[in-house]
Amino acid sequence: MAGSAPLPQRPRTGSHDLPVSPELAAFMTEGWAEGTPPADARVAARDVTPARRARLSARFPGERLLVPAGEVKVRSNDCDHRFRPHSAYAWLTGLTGEDQHGHVLVLEPSGPAGGHEAVLYVRPRPVRAAGDDTFYRDRRYGEFWVGRRPDLAEAERLTGVRCVRLDDLGLLPPGRDAASDAPLAAALAELRLVKDRWEIGELQRAVDHTAAGFEDVVRALPRALAHPRGERLVEGVFGLRARLEGNGTGYETIAASGAHACVLHWTRNDGRLDPSELLLLDAGVETDTLYTADVTRTLPLSGRFSPVQRRVHELVLAAQEAGMAALRPGSRFRDFHRACMGVIAEGLADWGVLKDREGDLHRRYTLCSSGHMLGLDVHDCARARAEAYLDGVLEEGQVLTVEPGLYFQPDDGTLPAELRGIGVRVEDDLVVTADGARLMSGALPRVPEAVEEWMGSLLEG
């Protein structure tokens, strides 16, 4: 209302906003037993993070580098979104917990050779006996509100990095900040293009858990078909697996039935399932170390593909096979997409959908690229320069998806009626090897006959 005073903001601290008496304040400092952390507590990636920091150090000799974990974001009023550290911070420190918001890794110039010392600026656990009341009064950081944080010594044992109080960060001279410095952000992305052996193992774990989640979904299809929002039941079943096995989903699950599958990023997931239609499920489990899978299967909700559904699926699968065959060290990143699209254009021309198999008119029905790098982010290394990624060449150790699709919009008058409203995508995760690529998600069938057999065995069980 014009002229009205602004509404007061609800404070972020306070025990239900009630005052604390001197007697209570004194009482809250007494009688606490100190917990003893395990002597061998350490982050899972501690053995590999020093080499990663050394590679970054070599890119920026003598420069102070700041890599923040990021801050929490408000969902509504005084409720925040669940926090996930920035991928570059997680990659360099191995720290992946929800308690990392606000923390900053600094690579401090050290020595005449242009090297760096890693220093972590963290918010340590308050000392209760010292009268610091934030452990029970601070709603955002307090131990009794959001859980126990390590003290400085514990944080050093976890990471192998010298840790100091976050309050001291303001005393530092300025440096290159990964949150705002484009060359530093690009370097951090490019250094992650090739995965080390430990990372590939984590990605395989993510893929394996994802395969289990797809099996859960198939077993739940009878319930989903009976529910007025069956897509949401599918999303929930997969999400349960993701939370049980890891940090959660690596991205918003796409559970798209019928014509919803023609919407590339359909995450509303509020539709009913129809046994005569297909379900496009695009989902990935993110491990506790924050590596995510990204897999798509398009499933016949009746358990059997109709002839036209099978025809579309087989063309997409043939395109994917051509794309995967193009993966090898030294080939250009864009080669596998071109291979996929060549098959798609040929097939659409054979069907009479396209009059000319040359040119780019097939893009009306494919809409997007056929894959991307995969790792800590589902679209990993996106800040890399084009010459290092999109226009670059593949190297052994890179992990990427191959995911061609056909999306025949329900209102597209250029299509025969039988094709309208069908969306099919088949997506798999692969790691580039010395002489080709290894399929990481091969536990999930892709060929129509194998998909039908797999679904039948799960539903019978």
What are the tens digits of pLDDT across the range 238-260?
999 999 999 999 999 999 999 99
In this prediction, residues 205-209 reach a mean pLDDT of 98
Residues 322, 405, 421, CA angle at the centre, nearest 5°?
A: 145
What pLDDT shows up at residue 41? 82
- pLDDT band at 159; cut points 50, 70, 90: very high
| CA nearest to 159, candidates 80, 87, 95 | 95
The model's pTM is: 0.94
- pLDDT band at 40; cut points 50, 70, 90: low
What pLDDT shows up at residue 35? 67
Percentage helix, strand, coil, to 5, in the chain?
A: 35, 15, 45
User: Do the beta carbons of residue 251 and residue 294 sit within 8 Å?
Assistant: yes
State the average pLDDT for the chain. 94
**331-to-39, 326, 348, 379, 436 alpha-carbon distances in Å:** 47, 7, 26, 20, 10
What pLDDT shows up at residue 113? 81
Q: How far apart are CA 446 and CA 450, in angstroms?
A: 7
For residue 68, the surrounding DSSP H or E stretch is strand 65-68
Q: How far apart are CA 266 and CA 285, in angstroms?
A: 18
Percent of the chain topping pLDDT 90:
89
Helix (H, G, I), strand (E, B) or coil at 118: strand
User: Do the beta carbons of residue 316 and residue 424 sit within 8 Å?
Assistant: yes
Helices (H), 160-284: 182-191, 197-226, 230-245
Ranges assigned E (strand) in 327-426: 399-402, 405-407, 423-425
Residue 338 above 50 pLDDT?
yes
| CA nearest to 406, candidates 343, 313, 281 | 313
Q: How far apart are CA 422 and CA 429, in angstroms?
A: 24
What pLDDT shows up at residue 3? 38
What are the tens digits of pLDDT across the range 419-432?
999 999 999 999 99
Q: How far apart are CA 399 and CA 429, in angstroms?
A: 7
What pLDDT shows up at residue 17? 67
Residue 451 above 50 pLDDT?
yes
In this prediction, residues 48-57 reach a mean pLDDT of 98
Q: 14-18, 124-128, 367-371: which range is least confident on average?
A: 14-18
What are the tens digits of pLDDT across the range 381-418?
999 999 999 999 999 999 999 999 999 999 999 999 99
In this prediction, residues 277-297 reach a mean pLDDT of 98
What are the tens digits of pLDDT across the range 104-131?
999 999 988 889 999 999 999 988 888 8
Residues 360, 369, 364, CA angle at the centre, nearest 5°?
A: 40
User: Do the beta carbons of residue 393 and residue 331 sit within 8 Å?
Assistant: yes
- pLDDT band at 168; cut points 50, 70, 90: very high
Residue 8 above 60 pLDDT?
no
Residues 391, 393, 398, CA angle at the centre, nearest 5°?
A: 115
What pLDDT shows up at residue 328? 98
**396-to-33, 75, 196, 302, 391 alpha-carbon distances in Å:** 51, 40, 10, 41, 16
User: Do the beta carbons of residue 242 and residue 248 sit within 8 Å?
Assistant: yes
Six token digits for residue 459: 């539903």
Q: 36-40, 292-296, 392-396: which range is least confident on average?
A: 36-40
Please state the separation of Cα 27 from the chain's center in Å. 45
